[in-house]
Structure 1
Amino acid sequence: MLDVRRMQVLRAVVTSGSITVAAANLGYTPSAVSQQVAALEKQAGIPLLERVGRGVRPTEAGQLLSEHAAVISRQVAEAESALTDLRAGRTGLLSIRYFATAGATLVAPALARFRQDHPGIRVDLRMTDPQDPLAEVTEGRADLAVVVRPRDRRYEGIRFVHLLDDPYRAVLPAGHRLAAKRVLDLSDLADVPWVRGDGPGPCLDTVVDSCAAAGFSPDFVVDSEDYATAQGFVAAGLGISLVPAMGLANRHPGVVVRKVRGPEPVRVIHAAVRETSAGRPALRGLLAALRDPSTP
């Protein structure tokens, strides 16, 4: 196999036309340059230089290897430049996962801000698996996932970065007897039918735990794992629901929304980040955009 370093020495000789000048340019002795060229000729199995007066010129084989050495130099320089851009967060790929209600409200505006400062970063953006929203991050297939942090579970190698608190609101049919109150006590909802807007997981856990703290268990008469659909059932008079504020971006015209207290259910939204990716400048920039005060 040809030695790339020796090929660069040959290129210096061919470019200057002199072993002595090439040695001076490289910071070597003429003897060291001659030894490097001789070793390369042995590897190549063919003469690479021939003497012309006081200088040297390349043979056909020497010219060939010198030209390839020039290509290698350019490629190495391009690789170094690309690596510098990658280290600085100017280029690269970020794989991001998110859940439905965080998409338009949180992730989309954050990415718009992020791209203003990082136009060279490619983004792979997909929704999480509702059954296991952290799977792709834990398995190394995604750099970041926007999640409602699961309770009572630890994830090795994952850092959770708090993004925002998303309070739940009571969603009532228009004209409901409780709609006259501006703020509802959670216990006011103990004896009414409920529409479930969350599937099993940390979001539903937040609702059920808050109801337990208020002294009751919600009577779910309709299951809907989608907030928009849940609002439709509420508008039809089938029950009331608790929907997080981020899930009310598109409010149904047939419902009214009221704040809740005693306690106020709040789902806590985090960015789950692989520890091995946390130091990347581009990822830090994305986290800053997600935590921007202008984010709802």
Structure 2
Amino acid sequence: MTLAVFDAAAIERATTSRLVLDTIRDALIAHAEGRTHVPPPLHLDFAEADGDCHVKAGWITGAADFTVKIATGFYGNPARGLSANHGLVCVVSARTGQPRALLDDRGLLTAWRTAAAGALITHAMARPAAGTLAVFGTGEQARLQALWLAELRPVGLVLVHGRTPDKAHALCDTLGAHGLAARPAGAAEAARADMIITATPARSPVLDADRVRAGAHVTGIGTDMPHKNELPPALFHRAQLIATDDHAQCLDHGDFGHAVRAGAAAEDGDIAAGLLLKAPVDRPEAAITVADLTGVGALDAALASAVLGRLRE
């Protein structure tokens, strides 16, 4: 049997943001309801190359396929003219164990899964009237988070905070070309937005918890390995509602875990993100809410199967 291989160009042609958002929403709910099988991820850190790799597998109960995914982030690559993120996904039959296809996606499915999860949970947890969005980070993920959140709700001004002014301006121009008003902002101003999404590989917190205002929502998506940390423990201490995509993962290597170990949050102080997508959030107007997303293998499985279905059509 010859294994079918689909490249990134074919995957892009077959996939829409709506397909991704709908698939990830259903998968997060399935995971929250215990209808998934997700082993602990495997992590590799390449400190000298400023890179990392994680291997994730997952299966949704009853699904025809499961997947094994390799995703890498080498953060010095853009200076070499290369993408920071790469990867591939192997789709395997859950009935026969035979590999069905290899999705040579260059990390696209991981990026889309992450963006969809972040946009969905930010929309669900933020105040209905929240309008200003701040993104910490200037890469592909920051771009996708802003654009896909705008598909779910009106987004007013987008404040972009990044370490490199040129990259912040470039992202603002890109968002502007898609109809979003955007401008660079310092960390203090960005922390005052109605909605905040952090999309960085930071190893120490990128925002000051004291500057986050009452009624704001914060989603952290970059802390997917033990050595990373975007959100300060003090932010979790101030939060009245904390959501995690996977309790055990976030406790082990997420910002939620950093907060628990610092004594700023209770170990059982979180709720499954999928439950908040299933039913509207009951949140006081002045509450601070936080979501910690570390990436769940079952979401990769659901998305890979959905995309493969489109590719086969």
TM-score normalised according to structure 1 size: 0.29
Bigger radius of gyration, 1 or 2?
1
> Which of the two has greater helix per residue?
1
TM-score normalised according to structure 2 size: 0.27
